[in-house]
Amino acid sequence: MAERRVTVGWPEGLHARPAAIFVRAVTSSGVPVTVARPDGEPVNAASMLSVLGLGVEGGQEIVLASAAEDADTALDRLAKLVSEGLDELPGAV
């Protein structure tokens, strides 16, 4: 399983708009991804309610993971999106 630990770069954390950006990026990656607090249970990263339910604040660490064969590239891009607090997935067309 591929995994990335990343610090959330959005000041407001994974709430409202940033959570929507993140969920949209996960969905468009085409790779099944989970997200969790470092010692928490992973949730479906493509589920807005699940992501919001984590209550992650800006500056906190999260763990992105996937067992898909092509997960490394997707996780790298998602980690960049989250850590830099971007408005869209890097490399999006």
Active-site annotation, residues: 15
H-type alpha helices, 30-70:
48-53
Contact present, 9 and 82 (Cβ < 8 Å): yes
CA torsion sign, 75 to 79 to 85 to 90? negative
